[in-house]
Amino acid sequence: MGPGDQVFLDYDGTLVPISSDPTSCFADRELLSILDGLGEEYDMYIVTGRSAEDMRRFLPPRYRVIALHGALLLTSEGDVPLIPDYSRYVEICNSIALRKNEIREMFHGARLYNKVGGITVNTWLMDTATRGRLEDFMRSLAEESGMELYLGKQVVELRIPGVNKGDAIRKFRKHGRKALIAGDDITDEEAFIKNSDALTVKVGPGETSARYRVSDYMEMRSLLRELIRRS
Ligand SMILES: O=P(O)(O)OC[C@H]1O[C@H](O[C@H]2O[C@H](CO)[C@@H](O)[C@H](O)[C@H]2O)[C@H](O)[C@@H](O)[C@@H]1O
């Protein structure tokens, strides 16, 4: 990897630790200094399943972010949908979000967030049986609404069908440039598989199609510091 090459980084679990509270995953000072260092040498993107609103709260606006699993590019000039029907899915999510209280009453511990182009239910506070019922419910909601069910780390989500990090990254790959892609969750596997020529890094345990592995976000940060040092 050298100056001008590309770096695509997942956020939760890759750059910051996974936490049971999804609302407070702010980038700390060390992370910002790493991202700034990378941004000076490399063509860098954060690629996340998070909403635009979350990423604007967690990170300063100077970074390029691909949000909602690849549906939306955030830039300092504004948001650019990367798929044709984005606004239709926003409306679908807004109408599902109207059922927030009903869903919270049906599934004890469920925390539902409208990602404005996705719906996520955080399941950290739920017992296993209730999560199972929630999955069934969300599966039927997906069928009714035309959204896609996605089961991640302690989240049950509805995401825009067909959207995935792999295709999103491919849109931004530059011919003749090396790329590093890192991530910790199932959606990142889609990025690894669709970019098998890249330097792919799995963060944490579990099966993977990535070529390399680091144990956690701290080792990932060390690797990124090394990348800056060598550039
Ligand atoms: O693509 P990512 O940057 O990894 O984002 C994917 C999901 O991130 C959030 O959930 C994950 O992080 C939470 C905070 O650590 C954690 O509570 C949750 O269990 C994780 O799955 C976010 O809430 C989801 O909407 C994103 O899809």
Alpha-carbon distance of 58 to 60, in angstroms, equals 7
Q: What is the pLDDT of residue 32?
A: 98
Q: What is the pLDDT of residue 50?
A: 98
Residues with CB under 6 A from ligand 1: 10-13, 18-20, 22, 25, 48-50, 120, 122, 124, 152-155, 157, 185, 187
**Cβ-contact 3, 230 below 8 angstroms:** no
Average pLDDT over every residue of 42-57: 97
Q: What is the pTM of this model?
A: 0.96
* pLDDT digits 0-9 by tens, 84-114: 999 999 999 999 999 999 999 999 999 999 9
Tell me the CA–centroid distance for residue 185 and ligand 1, in Å: 9
Of these residues, 10, 79, 184, 185, which one is catalytic?
A: 10
Cβ-proximal residues to 187 (8 Å cutoff; 6+ apart), any chain: 10, 49, 69, 150, 152, 164, 165
Q: What is the pLDDT of residue 122?
A: 98
Region of 48 (left: φ > 0; alpha: ψ -120 to 50; beta: rest) is beta
* pLDDT digits 0-9 by tens, 209-218: 999 999 999 9
Using DSSP, state whether 107 is helix, strand or coil.
coil
Q: How far, in Å, are 58, 86, 177, 214 from residue 12 at the CA level?
A: 11, 23, 26, 15
Domains of the chain, first to last = 6-83+163-230 (3.40.50.1000), 86-159 (3.30.70.1020)
Average pLDDT over every residue of 11-38: 98
Whether ipTM tops 0.90, in short, is: yes
Average pLDDT of the chain?
Answer: 97
Q: What is the pLDDT of residue 77?
A: 83
Q: What is the pLDDT of residue 64?
A: 95
Average pLDDT over every residue of 108-132: 97
Ligand 1, atom nearest to 69 Cα: 1
pLDDT at 78 > cutoff 90: no
Q: What is the pLDDT of residue 228?
A: 96
Helices (H) and strands (E) counted in the chain, each on its own, are: 8, 12
Alpha-carbon distance of 116 to 114, in angstroms, equals 5
**Catalytic residue list contains 10:** yes
> Where do we find the tokens 């948001």?
79
Q: What is the pLDDT of residue 75?
A: 84
pLDDT at 65 > cutoff 90: yes
Tell me the two tokens of residue 124. Answer: 């950290």
* pLDDT digits 0-9 by tens, 156-214: 999 999 999 999 999 999 999 999 999 999 999 999 999 999 999 999 999 999 999 99
Ligand 1, atom nearest to 115 Cα: 25
pLDDT > 70: what percent of the chain?
A: 100
Using 50, 70 and 90 to split pLDDT, how confident is the model at 31? very high
Ligand 1, atom nearest to 185 Cα: 4
